[in-house]
Amino acid sequence: MGLMSKLLGGNTNSAEDYVELDIDDFDADAGEATVQVHFADISEQNDVVDIKDAVYDGDIVVADITRHTTTDRTMEHISDELKQVAHEVGGDIVQKEDDQIIITPGGVGISRAKLGR
């Protein structure tokens, strides 16, 4: 139960309480951002190069690994390389289920707990 629910009582949210966001309403110039989030697919060992470059540059990468199994020998090498990069930059790395690896640069940690309930 959230703070407002405790103060006001009950969960009284309705569709009118939410506003649909239109990206055109925001100044979304990524050129001003100091950290970017990149999405990548890892299908072979060479795909790791671009991921490593992005993390060394201070960006966050969410990589899709669905083409590999977690016991795949290639995936073990890829994981080891990415763990080394995270360690070198003081970042963090997690594998989300069997389909994603998230790697961050220094100063950015990844919580192992889900938000909400």
The pLDDT tens digits for 52-61 are: 999 999 999 9
Which CATH architecture describes the domain 35-110?
Answer: 2-Layer Sandwich (3.30)
Can you tell me which residue has the tokens 């919580």? 111
Rounded average pLDDT over 64-89: 83
Integer Cα distance of 96 and 112 in angstroms:
10
Q: Whose structure tokens read 């309480």?
A: 17
Question: Under 8 Å CB-to-CB from 71, ≥6 apart: which residues?
Answer: none
List CB contacts of 57: < 8 A, sequence separation 6 or more: 105
Q: In this structure, which amino acid lies at residue 98?
A: D
Given this model, what pLDDT does residue 12 score? 54
Across all residues in the chain, what is the average pLDDT?
Answer: 81
- Which of the residue ranges 74-78, 84-88, 89-93 would you say has the lowest mean pLDDT? 74-78
Best CA proximity match to 35, nearest among 89, 108, 110, 95:
108
